[in-house]
Amino acid sequence: MINEIKMEGVSSFKGSTSLITDKKINLVYGLNGTGKSTLSNFLYDPTVSKFNKCSITPIQTDTIFVYNQRFIQDNFFVSDGLKGIFSLSKENKAAEEKITKAEKRIHELNQTLQSKQTSKTGTSQNFTSQRQKAMDKVWKIKTTYTGGDRVLKYCLEGLRGNRDRLFEHLVAVEKPTSEPEKTITKLKDEVEALKGGDAHPQPELPTLDFSASNIESNSIFSKAIVGNEDSVVAKLIENLGNSDWVNQGLAYIPDHLDEQGSPCPFCQENTITQHLADKITDYFDESYQIDIETLEDLKTKYLEAIDKLDSLKTYSEHPFSPEKHSVITQKYQLCTSVLGKNKNLIEEKLKSPKTVLKLEDSVPVFASFNEEVSAINSQIHAYNTKLANKESTLKSLKTEFWRILRWQYDQTISRFKEDLNETNNKLAEIDEELKGIDSDIGVQKSIISEAQRETVNIEEAVNSINYGLIDLGIEDFSIVKHTESLYRIVRTGESTDAFHTLSEGEKMMISFLYFCELCKGRASADDTNIKRIAIIDDPISSLSHVFIFNVGQLIRSIFFRLDRFSQVFVLTHSLYFFYELTDPNHERRNENQKLFRLLKSASGSRILEMKYEEIQNDYQAYWSVINDTDQPPALIANCMRNIVEYFFNFVRRRDLNNVFQMTELQDGKYQAFCRYVNRESHSLGQNIIDMKEFDYDVFREGLRLVFKETGYEDHYDEMSKC
């Protein structure tokens, strides 16, 4: 059975619409132009490219037979003769028994096949549900990285608008062997550095070089600097313990000393004589002065070297330093601390030259600091290299981005792959079973085919069609055998092909009888199809009302009642015929039938379910169309013409020509309405209308004036409510 027919993107079916059913008998009503032919043509040949958006569910169904204009053309207008219809003879009982047994076995196998297909569908649907859950989780990637700062949005190019594509992309990423060291935050920083407004090459940091580090190992600091020990004041200066203090005091001794004694620069008493000053000066001999001068020079160089050092800001405020700010500051302060201590020691040596000192070696702390500088410079160099190769770098970072996410979503992806593997194994197992069942069905069909070769004939089909023609009162032409597999239509007393001389109604009648026999019988000796689905599209469109009842009876007796047909779809434009086929018994109708309506508006054709109570006659249907402003202009105008023709020509027997001459309708705005609706004007060849002239309100007002002028305005008002 067909459970759903989906129509989309073809002819009047602009959007997606579906006929969903679980019933054997399905009746579809729709005015001409609403899409009935398109629907039946799709079922006739679903492989046509224009139907690529249409579908049938399930894909595999019972064999479908379609009666429509395509069927008539393929079987009558193109072929040299009708294709023979084979019916089983009852003469060969042994063959019949083989066929019956094989058909029973095929029925059993088909039930098993259906069960397996149901299991396969259930397995697929269950996996689809699991996959959807996994997709929903993975879709958070899109919402996370395409909102907010959007730094990593470029990594999702081509994936942002499609859940399936995004999911499959992540599944295809190979899981890293270990957790990636780089974080999303770090990745963002790198991308921002490459894509931001400040993205330009960065200078490397200078190494922190202290040019006076060799001073720290000078031997003078381990030397006790003393004056002339032979001087008479040597013992005194040694006892004072501060020769530097004494040496500094010499600068304050006057150049001319009083014989009685001049003021001492230390105690301010008149104790300094020329003799004492000479003795003190004699203590600080040339060797002493040289050492002191050496110390002074070393101090000056040391301090100058300190002043030349780059400031801490040079390192701490560089764009690549924030992560190492703490360690850089600590090590820089350690360098300056060592230099400060050494500076103090040099000054101490100058104050007490005799003191033996050892300056701290600053080389290790500077080397340690420069290790950090070197590490930062490596990052700067790497960045500058990446910036010079921006596109390839961004591509590489994109790869890292997906590796990080693959690791983060491993639980979801791994579970999905396990489910996929399990589902594929199960489906493969079911497919093997289905293959075996198909093979068994093929064997049984071969048995049927071999048995049918002994029993098939076309005489029974020919006779059946001819009897059907007689039952309908058609006696002036009949079917005759043409070859072993073909037959044709001839008129009584003639032998030439007469099909092309038939009226449209006669062609439709004979073609429909042929279709009935084709569905009841077998198309060839090898035809082993059992259950069938019949699609019947407007079998009364060219028939007089005399035959409509007969066609309805044929459809009910053959297609509705025979078990050979698992499902029937009848499409018609006639509400009368639609009503004729509808089962009036409420319980039987609910059990076996489903009613549908095809509607067409500016947005396209739609298939809607229809209740039994909604069935109207054709006249009411025309009013329902013109009362809907969304209907196509041509359809509305055509229905107005049918309303006028039906009501006045058949119901009221009025001459409308004078009505259309009324003064009100002579206004220029009603001319398009009059030309199209007034049937009397058609004989003058003026019935062509450009739908650009169509104005709904003007046409409605024109129709109202027609009914008003003829005295039926109340009828117009009542029908306008439909």
Helical residues (DSSP H) of 10-92, grouped into ranges: 36-44, 69-72
Torsion of CA 344, 348, 354, 360, to 10 degrees: -10
pLDDT on residue 681: 47
pLDDT on residue 37: 93
String of DSSP letters for 513-528: HHHHHHHHSBSSTT--
Peptide bond into 322 cis (omega under 30): no
pLDDT on residue 551: 83
Quote the CA–CA distance of 717 and 290 in Å, as a whole number.
132
CA 4-9-11 angle, 5° bins: 100
Backbone angles phi, psi at 653, to 5 degrees: 50, 55
Task: Give the total residue count for the chain.
Answer: 722
Neighbours of 281 (CB within 10 A): 16
Give 244-252's long-range contacts (Cβ < 8 A, gap of 24+).
244/350, 244/351, 244/352, 244/353, 245/351, 246/280, 246/283, 247/284, 247/288, 247/292, 250/277, 250/280, 250/281, 250/284
Of residues 565, 555, 558, the one with CA closest to residue 530: 565
Quote the CA–CA distance of 392 and 390 in Å, as a whole number.
6
Q: Evaluate whether 89 touches 456 at the Cβ level (below 8 Å).
A: yes
Quote the CA–CA distance of 630 and 615 in Å, as a whole number.
21
Quote the CA–CA distance of 289 and 294 in Å, as a whole number.
8
Cα dist from 362 to 210, 211, 214, whole Å: 8, 11, 9
Q: Evaluate whether 284 touches 227 at the Cβ level (below 8 Å).
A: yes
Residue 116 CA to its chain's centroid (Å) = 31
The three-class DSSP label of residue 149 is coil
In the chain, what is the greatest distance between 2 CA atoms, to the nearest angstrom?
181
Q: Evaluate whether 36 touches 68 at the Cβ level (below 8 Å).
A: no
What does the H/E/C string look like for 153-173?
Answer: HHHHCCCCCCHHHHHHHHHHC
String of DSSP letters for 585-652: -HHHHHHHEEEEEEEEETTEEEEEE--GGG---HHHHHHHHHT-TTS-HHHHHHHHHHHHIIIIIIII
Quote the CA–CA distance of 536 and 522 in Å, as a whole number.
18
- One-letter amino acid at 113 equals L
Q: What is the DSSP letter of 259?
A: T
Quote the CA–CA distance of 323 and 466 in Å, as a whole number.
98
Neighbours of 166 (CB within 10 A): 19
List pLDDT tens digits, range 225-242.
876 555 545 555 666 555
pLDDT on residue 684: 37
What the block records as the tokens of 142 is: 């899109």
Quote the CA–CA distance of 114 and 110 in Å, as a whole number.
6
Bridging pattern class, strands 55-57 and 17-20: unpaired
CA 104-110-116 angle, 5° bins: 145
Sign of CA dihedral 39, 40, 44, 50: negative
Neighbours of 238 (CB within 10 A): 15
Q: Evaluate whether 361 touches 367 at the Cβ level (below 8 Å).
A: no
The three-class DSSP label of residue 323 is helix
Show the beta-strand stretches assigned E in 236-312. Answer: 262-263, 270-272
Quote the CA–CA distance of 112 and 216 in Å, as a whole number.
99
Sign of CA dihedral 441, 443, 446, 447: negative
**Positions of the chain with pLDDT lower than 50, given as ranges:** 78, 232, 681-688
CB-count burial class (<10 Å; 0-12, 13-18, 19+) for 548: middle
pLDDT on residue 495: 62
- One-letter amino acid at 322 equals P
Sign of CA dihedral 274, 280, 285, 288: negative
Sign of CA dihedral 343, 346, 351, 356: positive
Neighbours of 431 (CB within 10 A): 12
Give Cβ neighbours of residue 711 (< 8 Å, ≥ 6 apart): none
pLDDT on residue 496: 63
pLDDT on residue 53: 93
**What residues are paired with 481 via a beta bridge?**
487
Quote the CA–CA distance of 535 and 61 in Å, as a whole number.
13
Give Cβ neighbours of residue 250 (< 8 Å, ≥ 6 apart): 277, 280, 281, 284
Of residues 685, 682, 620, the one with CA closest to residue 646: 620
Backbone angles phi, psi at 43, to 5 degrees: -70, -25
- One-letter amino acid at 285 equals D
Instruction: Indicate the pTM of the whole model.
Output: 0.47
